[in-house]
């Protein structure tokens, strides 16, 4: 067989393999993204992150994520700390094969946050922030797992939380139910020009939401807290 013919056959096989890989990614992109959110979110928070469904339309550069939840850290109730409701995502399709992948806009409508503080003065948000600031949990390696390829990096131009609600239960105040509105929260330029890993994005977003939630509870219940001798707990959030 001539070298030129062998080269053409090899090139044809390679093209078919690349085409098959692209088709696989495009037809399974919802499953791939869902698994990535759960994996990297759980590694960053050191608790369980779950997603009900992901729907991405690359043709229009739009996507949605349904029922993203973050479980309470160990030592607190078995309810979800964050339930992020409806999430709409804009995608710069031209950047999909580049680094970083550019996401112009993420809008999270109707997030629900649970704030718990026990009789020792420890809160679930404190525990989450401690988890986020510590070393990232290493993923379990499967037998025969191959070395990872190029790391995915993301640049999110704008991320907005809106129409959110906080449910607070504080032992020092009798564990009664306190319902509060969460003000609109906007984060911009997450990852910068170089981009951030999915775990870094999860850390940045969860940290900002946890701190904003703590401030809302603090400002609402501050005087009552201070009367209970918990002023130091409040001041650390108001200073941030």
Domain ranges of the chain: 3-133+151-238
12 confidence band (pLDDT: 50, 70, 90): very low
Q: Classify burial at 43, counting beta carbons within 10 Å of its beta carbon; exposed 0-12, middle 13-18, buried 19 or more.
A: middle
Give the Cα separation of 8 and 23 in Å (integer).
22
78 phi/psi in degrees, rounded to 5: -85, 15
| pTM greater than 0.75 (yes/no) | yes
User: Phi, psi at residue 47, to the nearest 5°?
Assistant: -140, -170
Q: Is the pLDDT of residue 239 over 60?
A: no
pLDDT tens string 35-87: 989 999 999 999 999 999 999 888 888 999 999 999 999 999 999 999 998 89
Mean pLDDT of 129-137: 77
| CA-to-CA separations, 220 to 122, 123, 177, in angstroms, rounded | 18, 16, 13
């Amino acid at each position: 067989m001539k070298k030129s013919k062998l080269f053409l056959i090899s090139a044809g096989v390679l093209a078919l393999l690349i085409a098959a890989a692209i088709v696989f990614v495009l037809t399974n992109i919802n499953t791939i993204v869902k698994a990535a959110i759960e994996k990297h979110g759980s590694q960053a928070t050191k608790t369980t992150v779950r997603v009900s469904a992901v729907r991405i339309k690359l043709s229009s550069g739009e996507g949605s994520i349904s029922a993203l939840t973050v479980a309470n850290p160990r030592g607190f109730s078995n309810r979800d700390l964050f339930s992020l409701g409806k999430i709409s995502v804009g995608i710069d399709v031209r950047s999909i094969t580049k680094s970083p992948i550019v996401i112009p806009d993420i809008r999270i409508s109707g997030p629900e946050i649970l704030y718990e503080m026990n009789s020792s003065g420890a809160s679930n948000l404190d525990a989450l922030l401690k988890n986020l600031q510590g070393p990232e949990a290493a993923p379990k390696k499967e037998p025969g797992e191959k070395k990872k390829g190029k790391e995915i990096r993301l640049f999110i131009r704008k991320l907005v939380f809106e129409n959110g609600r906080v449910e607070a239960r504080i032992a020092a105040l009798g564990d009664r139910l306190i319902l509060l509105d969460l003000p609109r929260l906007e984060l911009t330029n997450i990852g910068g020009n170089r981009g951030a890993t999915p775990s870094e994005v999860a850390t940045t977003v969860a940290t900002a939401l946890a701190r904003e939630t703590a401030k809302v509870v603090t400002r609402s219940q501050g005087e009552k807290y201070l009367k209970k001798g918990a002023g130091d707990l409040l001041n650390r959030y108001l200073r941030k």
